Amino acid sequence: MLRTTLSARALKLSRVSNYTKCAPRRGYATPSTYTNIRTHYNTTLAGLSPSENEFREAVWEFAGRVVEPSRAKVEKEIEAGGRGFEEFMGIHRELAEMGLHGITVPTEANTESLGLSLPYLHHLLTMEALSYVSGGIALSYAAHSNLCINQISRWATPEQKARFLPGLMRGDLLGSLAMSEPGAGSDVLGMKTEAKYIPEKGGYVINGNKFWITNGPRADVVVVYAKDSPSQSKTKSTYTTFIIPRETPGFSTGQPLDKFGMKSSPTCELIFEDVFVPEELVLGGKGMVGKGAKVLMSGLDLERLVLCGGPLGIMQAAYDTTLEYVHTREQFGVRIGTFGSMQAKLANMYTAVNSARTFAYSVARAGMLGTYTYPPLQRRDCAAAILYVTDKASKCHWSVCRVWVGMGEYINEYPAARYLADARLYAVGAGTQEVRRWLVGREINADFE
């Protein structure tokens, strides 16, 4: 309770003044109106506590007022292929101003007390709000705040935290995490990027390439996984995690990648050519050499949980805009929402978004039992939650397209195609749907054994 009251204050609720509620209709599913957002988000089914809901409303209001008006400009800026990213970095700093980058970071003096010390549920709620208005800006926010900042917060030494976290949380710096490689996507531990220890130099020389890295084109700080050379184990490969600042000699980035969706999130290849990294930049210090697989796998669990907010927010946006559309568009002299086939689609969407949300929130809540950190979150539940939410979102977005057809499925007059394209990323990033199914099945079998 105290935590969320503190968070509400940190979120400058005094700035959150102008959301209003419409009159209740039949006592449930009251649509809420925020700046630029009118949503049928079902607060009753979401089951949030009053303070959690207060937090949620604050981030929805922020998303509508600050992020939504910039979405198209950020898309154009990234499409233009420059490296300045003024609009994108402007939003990044606004997010910092709200305190949202350090949402799960403990409030500690050595990080200028910029962390909000909130549970992963709040991080998921923030992702949901941002994804409602821009899938891409939300994805970049997740890469920065969860993949980069949260990993540094969980594993770094006090000195590393003091050096990197304040700038990242203040929004002066942009963060990324680099795990995937051209030949190592699902099989991420098959990575070829190698870190060779040079004792006389007191550090490592890194060579290799990372691919599809969110925020890569502009990132100032990258959390990088590399295979140890020589391995720390006699029987298998081991890995170490590094924090690499952009200005490190030998580090460079490729051209931003042209993507199917997530147009407001920059992505590119990272190149490491004889990059020298001193021992002080091993994430977690000397004791963490050879333990990168644990850092990577546990980070993926939390990433999957927080990313659930992505497909959820996009799905809610799709549902809201479709509901408005079917009650505006007329064919054969009646609103298309009165056709049985359209009602069936609405019913499926309504069921999908609410069931998916309830499951994702309850997994996040499981992480709050007793402790706010990992564990007791279960690996299989984080994977199952994003698997389920993504499945529901994919089906929902195809339905949305079938409602908007000429206006939105094929012509970008309405955002149906954007929703579909943005949501598809969640079937790919943080492990594919197939890999999540495999992982959940494997964990269930392991429990049985």
Ligand X SMILES: Cc1cc2nc3c(=O)[nH]c(=O)nc-3n(C[C@H](O)[C@H](O)[C@H](O)COP(=O)(O)OP(=O)(O)OC[C@H]3O[C@@H](n4cnc5c(N)ncnc54)[C@H](O)[C@@H]3O)c2cc1C
Dmax of the chain from CA atoms? 82
Contact predicate 218/89, CB 8 Å:
yes
Q: Which of 185, 245, 254, 285 binds ligand X (CB under 6 A)?
A: 185
Q: Which of 259, 329, 365, 395 binds ligand X (CB under 6 A)?
A: 259
Interaction of residue 186 with ligand X, rule CB under 6 A = yes
Least gap, CB of 66 to ligand X (angstroms): 23
Interaction of residue 143 with ligand X, rule CB under 6 A = yes
Least gap, CB of 146 to ligand X (angstroms): 10
* Active-site entry in 303, 409, 413, 449: 303
Least gap, CB of 313 to ligand X (angstroms): 17
Locate 221 and state its tokens. Answer: 């700080």
Q: Which of 59, 114, 178, 382 binds ligand X (CB under 6 A)?
A: 178
Least gap, CB of 68 to ligand X (angstroms): 21
Q: Which of 85, 212, 239, 388 binds ligand X (CB under 6 A)?
A: 212
Q: How big is the site for ligand X, counted in residues (CB under 6 A)?
A: 21
Q: Which is nearer to ligand X, 155 or 212 (CB)?
A: 212
Q: Which is nearer to ligand X, 323 or 430 (CB)?
A: 430
Interaction of residue 420 with ligand X, rule CB under 6 A = no
Least gap, CB of 143 to ligand X (angstroms): 5
Locate 233 and state its tokens. Answer: 């184990």
Stretch that binds ligand X, among 17-25, 176-184, 347-355, 398-406 (CB under 6 A): 176-184
Tell me, yes or no, if 303 is annotated catalytic: yes
Interaction of residue 432 with ligand X, rule CB under 6 A = yes
Interaction of residue 435 with ligand X, rule CB under 6 A = yes
* Torsion sign, CA atoms 261, 262, 263, 265: negative
3-class SS letters over the chain:
CHHHHHHHHHCCHHHCCCCEECCCCCCCCCCEEECCEEECCCHHHHCCCHHHHHHHHHHHHHHHHHHHHHHHHHHHHHHHCCCCCHHHHHHHHHHHHCCCCCCCCCCCHHHCCCCCCCCHHHHHHHHHHHHHHCHHHHHHHHHHHHHHHHHHHHHCCHHHHHHHHHHHHHCCCCEEEECCECCECCCHHHCCCEEEEEHHHCEEEEEEEEEEEECCCCCCEEEEEEEEECCCCCCCCCEEEEEEECCCCCEEECCCCCCCCCCCCCEEEEEEEEEEEEHHHECCCHHHCCCHHHHHHHHHHHHHHHHCHHHHHHHHHHHHHHHHHHCCCEECCEEHHHCHHHHHHHHHHHHHHHHHHHHHHHHHHHCCCCCCCCCCCCHHHHHHHHHHHHHHHHHHHHHHHHHHHHHHCCCCCCCHHHHHHHHHHHHCCCCCHHHHHHHHHHHHHHHHC
Q: Name the residue number minimizing CB distance to ligand X.
A: 185
Interaction of residue 425 with ligand X, rule CB under 6 A = yes
Stretch that binds ligand X, among 60-68, 86-94, 167-175, 180-188 (CB under 6 A): 180-188
Q: Which is nearer to ligand X, 179 or 403 (CB)?
A: 179
Q: Which is nearer to ligand X, 160 or 267 (CB)?
A: 267
Least gap, CB of 225 to ligand X (angstroms): 8
Interaction of residue 179 with ligand X, rule CB under 6 A = yes
Q: Token pair 């910092």 is at which residue?
A: 96
Interaction of residue 262 with ligand X, rule CB under 6 A = yes
Stretch that binds ligand X, among 17-25, 159-167, 206-214, 302-310 (CB under 6 A): 206-214
Q: Which of 35, 36, 157, 180 binds ligand X (CB under 6 A)?
A: 180
Interaction of residue 214 with ligand X, rule CB under 6 A = yes
Least gap, CB of 428 to ligand X (angstroms): 5
Interaction of residue 363 with ligand X, rule CB under 6 A = no
Contact predicate 289/202, CB 8 Å:
no
Residues in touch with ligand X (CB under 6 A): 143, 177-180, 185-186, 212-214, 259, 262, 267, 425, 428-429, 431-432, 434-435, 438
* Active-site amino acid positions: 303
